[in-house]
A and B are shown apart, each in its own frame.
Chain A
């Protein structure tokens, strides 16, 4: 069964304290792995798409990486405005419907 697991469930960081969020997946072939940021009561906001192992994408303080079994979202010198829930989603390549399968997210709190 295809699964997406994110860890940790919650993470509290001091401002400037770098860390990484993990997304582990077991799918029958991967067409894409997607990272989203979600603020409370809002829709998920697209961050990155990764397609193949070894790929990396960066945006401001965020960097996403992909291996054959997991993806990491590295947050460098975070600021309070980075506080949000970060969601990972995968699209298996058998999936003709192309829907995403989401993990339950990591809730990040950055303390000033």
Chain B
């Protein structure tokens, strides 16, 4: 158990809908990262938050947004969903912002858009 908790584990929704994925980082970790993993693309970095502030953006679509709350949990919001958004979404956390520490991943949310 990595200590990173993601909910829900599975989500099935229709095209055009909006969903929210939730992540609770390991105790004491201030950085949260979101990744998307599709079958043909591997792990793609979406966005990072550190202590409530957006720190870095990757290939995140404008239809997607995220935030990190004062209790350090994070939410990834996906809107106007398309079939191609079906993927595994992972959250990871690490202790600091120095860049030297490893990140620990949650078990993921499997999103299926029908």
Contact = CB atoms under 8 A, between A and B. Distances in A.
Contact of B45 (A51, A93, A99): A99
Interface of A is mostly: loop
A103 B42 CA distance: 7
A85 to B, nearest CB: 10
A66 B55 CA distance: 28
B contact residues, range = 20 to 34
Given A44-B90, A45-B2, A99 B100 contact: no
Contacts of B35: 102
A31 B99 contact: yes
A105 interface: yes
Given A41-B110, A98-B97, A49 B105 contact: no
Interface of A: 31-32, 34, 36, 41-46, 49, 51, 87, 89, 91, 93, 95-105
A91 B104 contact: no
- Name which of A96, A99, A103 has the most chain B CB atoms within 10 A of its CB: A99
